Amino acid sequence: MTDLDDDRGVLAHLESYYDAAPRGNADTEEVGPFTLFVSRGGWPYYARPRLTGGDPLPTDEAAVRAVLERQRELGVPRALEWVHDVTPDLLAAARAAGLRVEECPLLVLDGTPTAPSLPDGATVRLVEPDDPDLPLVRASIDVGFGHGGTATGEAGEQARDEAAGRDPVSVRRVADGIRSGRSLLAGAWVEGVGPVAGGSHNPRPTPYGDTSEVVGLAVLPAYRRRGLAGVLAARLAQDALGRGVGTVFLSAQDDAVARVYASVGFRRVATACVAEGD
């Protein structure tokens, strides 16, 4: 596992993953101090500070505007992602260029994950690519992200079922990712209800060893505050470790969500930034 006593080393490790992760499904361009990832289909990517193996290249408003203009020319989303603690000057430059910036706690698994007990009638398991419940797991995630945060709400299985058939192409891509081993999906089921939550982890080789990011973890609002998010995060981390992954990490939407992940063994090491334009 990664030595979390050396946060600078951890961040270098994560930067290597961030550079490697999109390349299997994206073409790249170097635009000033940025690497622009252009999706070949499916998930739309972003630009990130170029991986240099040392200190980051200087960034300013002009450099940000240049990469945003290139994204506009290509007809792809105007978006940047970076780790603030690695490239601190980029936050002010992105805002000066008119981007909306979300600052998210960045956490790394510290030791062995500890899952809370499941509530009665609930189960958590990995999802196979031909699982008939795959569309419902994906729909639970989509509805969960449509109602951000940790608060409970009315959106439940009816909202999930209405969302389940909206994007069959996305479901097929998820199934293909599972088959390839590039993405592993887990879901949470409640007896008599079906899937109510889900999340993934995406293992990749890096020069620092195999690494995986836990992504897209969400719970239907009607089934929050039952410990399902923590159990899912721990289950995904356990699966990653079982596959020989040495470092597992994730970004949380906010401090409240980060506390859920901290409760199962993740530790905050930095702040991840996500910036979007109109």
Q: For the segment 207-253, what is each residue's pLDDT rounded down to a tens digit?
A: 999 999 999 999 999 999 999 999 999 999 999 999 999 999 999 99
Taking the domains of the chain in order of start, what are their residue ranges? 7-106, 122-269
**Token pair 């998930």 is at which residue?**
43
Average pLDDT, 10 consecutive residues per value, the chain (278 residues)? 66 95 94 96 91 88 98 97 97 98 98 92 97 98 93 96 92 95 97 98 94 97 96 97 97 95 97 96
pLDDT the model gives residue 5: 55
| Pairing of β 211-219 and β 247-251 | parallel
CATH homologous superfamily, domain 122-269: Gcn5-related N-acetyltransferase (GNAT) (3.40.630.30)
Contacts of 57 (CB under 8 A, 6+ apart): 32, 33, 49, 50
pLDDT of 43: 81
pLDDT of residue 55: 82
β-partners of residue 97 are: none
DSSP alpha helix (H) spans, 78-192: 89-96, 134-146, 157-164, 168-180
How open is the CA angle 3-9-212, to the nearest 5 degrees? Answer: 70
Whether 116 contacts 233, CB under 8 Å: no
Q: Check for a shared fold between 7-106 and 122-269.
A: yes
CA-based end-to-end distance of the chain: 40
Q: Tell me what pLDDT residue 230 has.
A: 96
> Kindly report the CA angle at 227 between 217 and 214, in degrees rounded to 5?
25
The domain over range 7-106 is classified in CATH as 3.90.550.10: no
Amino acid in position 23: R
